[in-house]
Amino acid sequence: MVTRKEVAELAGVSEATVSRVFNGLGPMKPATKERVLEAARQLDYHPNAIAQSFARRRSGNLGVVLPYMPKVHLFSTYYFAEILSGIGEQVREQGYDLLLSLLKPDESLDYTRLYRSQKVDACIILGARDTPQQRQSLQQLQEQGLPFCLVNQHFEGSTFYEVDADHAEGSYQAVRHLQEEGYRKIAFLNGSPEYSNSADRLQGYLRAMADAGLEVTPGLLLQGNYSRKSGYEAADQLWEQREQVEAVFAANDRMAIGLMQGLREKGWIAGRDFAVIGCDDSDSAKLSDPPLSSISVPFYEMGKEAARGVLAGFLHGESAKPVSVKLPTSLVVRQSSKGSPRK
């Protein structure tokens, strides 16, 4: 199947120019248009009907795909609430509306259905997981020239339009802070491996430990799934090896707070008997007992940037450029990471 990229290369123009020629958008030099059409004839290129129809008409909606998780109050979750607030603010400024679509884990990942029905002009995908089916579905969108953006997820080896945060650096700063407080036996409670930020935070943790010349034994690496329950359950494992652990960095606030609760029930208090740092800097971090140190992730700004970028691509008659935007994180220190290491 001949792609728009191949036509662009043969004609010596950009993919956006090929898109404008076949969709009849914007001014075009006759010689440039002829080069594109001749290249298409040589390659026997036939533009995707969905993409053509999509480019010529507008729904006025920006689609947002969210994972459907039974018994989870999705919109009260800090992560989703902040990103959606940022997206909503940006689309309001640009005169657009939001169309939310909930996708069950076992549901077919056919994102093109939103475009085929002319429901959306562009799409932002939240909660994507690195699975073969997910990669195939996103590749299909890209090949058809349908503008979309991923938030807080990147796919190694692919060139999708992604807006992410520097999770590796945030993790590094969290562990360095614990080391500066005098802690050496630092465990890491990570989330599900299907999310790229899990790998990024592990990378930052390992780099900080290596820079300090500290050994990472298997017992220091704990596994959760980003839920408070998984943090609470990790407390049992940590308690069994409490002599080998002085501090914990958790990959999100919910797991950190669950861990604090589980250890408190065993008589171990954060900020007194051990140190802990979370990630997200959610409202719960500020209200926990003790207040939880956390990595602040700019979810609101990520949502705004994703909406701005993907709509800019659509309004110019082209899909969003396959680039990675990475926003900085910062450490917020509270009582949970203070205190003297046990002697």
pLDDT in tens, 161-186: 999 999 999 999 999 999 999 999 99
- Taking residues 36-41, report their average pLDDT: 90
> Which residues have C-beta within 8 Å of that of residue 76, sequence separation ≥ 6?
none
Identify whether the C-beta of residue 124 lies closer than 8 Å to the C-beta of residue 111: no
> Which residues have C-beta within 8 Å of that of residue 139, sequence separation ≥ 6?
158
- Taking residues 96-107, report their average pLDDT: 79
**Predicted pLDDT at 202:** 98
Least confident of 50-54, 99-103, 242-246, 247-251: 50-54
Please determine, for residue 50, whether its predicted confidence score (pLDDT) is greater than 80.
Answer: no
C-alpha–C-alpha distance, residues 283 and 318, integer Å = 38
Please determine, for residue 318, whether its predicted confidence score (pLDDT) is greater than 90.
Answer: no
Identify whether the C-beta of residue 336 lies closer than 8 Å to the C-beta of residue 247: no
pLDDT above 70 covers a percentage of the chain that reads 88
pLDDT band at 71 (very low <50, low <70, confident <90, very high): low
Q: What type of residue is 30?
A: P
Please determine, for residue 150, whether its predicted confidence score (pLDDT) is greater than 70.
Answer: yes
Identify whether the C-beta of residue 190 lies closer than 8 Å to the C-beta of residue 199: no
Strands of 37-173 (E only): list them.
61-67, 97-103, 122-125, 148-151, 162-165
C-alpha–C-alpha distance, residues 191 and 79, integer Å = 14
C-alpha–C-alpha distance, residues 285 and 334, integer Å = 9
Rounded-to-10 torsion of CA 278, 283, 288, 294: 20
Residue linked to tokens 């110019």: 316
Specify which of 11-25, 62-76, 263-277 reaches the highest per-range mean pLDDT. 263-277
Q: Compute the residue count for the chain.
A: 343
Specify which of 13-17, 156-160, 213-217 reaches the highest per-range mean pLDDT. 213-217
Please determine, for residue 317, whether its predicted confidence score (pLDDT) is greater than 90.
Answer: no
- Taking residues 138-167, report their average pLDDT: 90
Least confident of 76-90, 246-260, 291-305: 76-90
Identify whether the C-beta of residue 208 lies closer than 8 Å to the C-beta of residue 175: yes
Q: What type of residue is 15?
A: E
- Taking residues 102-121, report their average pLDDT: 76
Residue 86 Ramachandran class (φ > 0 left, ψ -120 to 50 alpha, else beta): alpha
Please determine, for residue 142, whether its predicted confidence score (pLDDT) is greater than 90.
Answer: no
Residue 121 tokens read as: 């002009």
**Predicted pLDDT at 2:** 78
Query: For 280, phi and psi rounded to 5 degrees?
Result: 125, -30
Q: Is 255 exposed, middle or buried (0-12, 13-18, 19+ CB in 10 A)?
A: buried
Query: For 184, phi and psi rounded to 5 degrees?
Result: -125, -35
Tell me the three-class secondary structure of 227-270, residue by residue: CHHHHHHHHHHHHHCHHHCCEEEECCHHHHHHHHHHHHCCCCCE
* 227-236 pLDDT per residue, tens: 999 999 999 9
pLDDT band at 18 (very low <50, low <70, confident <90, very high): confident
**Of residues 133, 259, 155, 148, the one with CA closest to residue 199:** 155
**Predicted pLDDT at 220:** 95
> Which residues have C-beta within 8 Å of that of residue 199, sequence separation ≥ 6?
193
* 187-208 pLDDT per residue, tens: 999 999 999 999 999 999 999 9
Please determine, for residue 11, whether its predicted confidence score (pLDDT) is greater than 60.
Answer: yes
Please determine, for residue 84, whether its predicted confidence score (pLDDT) is greater than 90.
Answer: yes
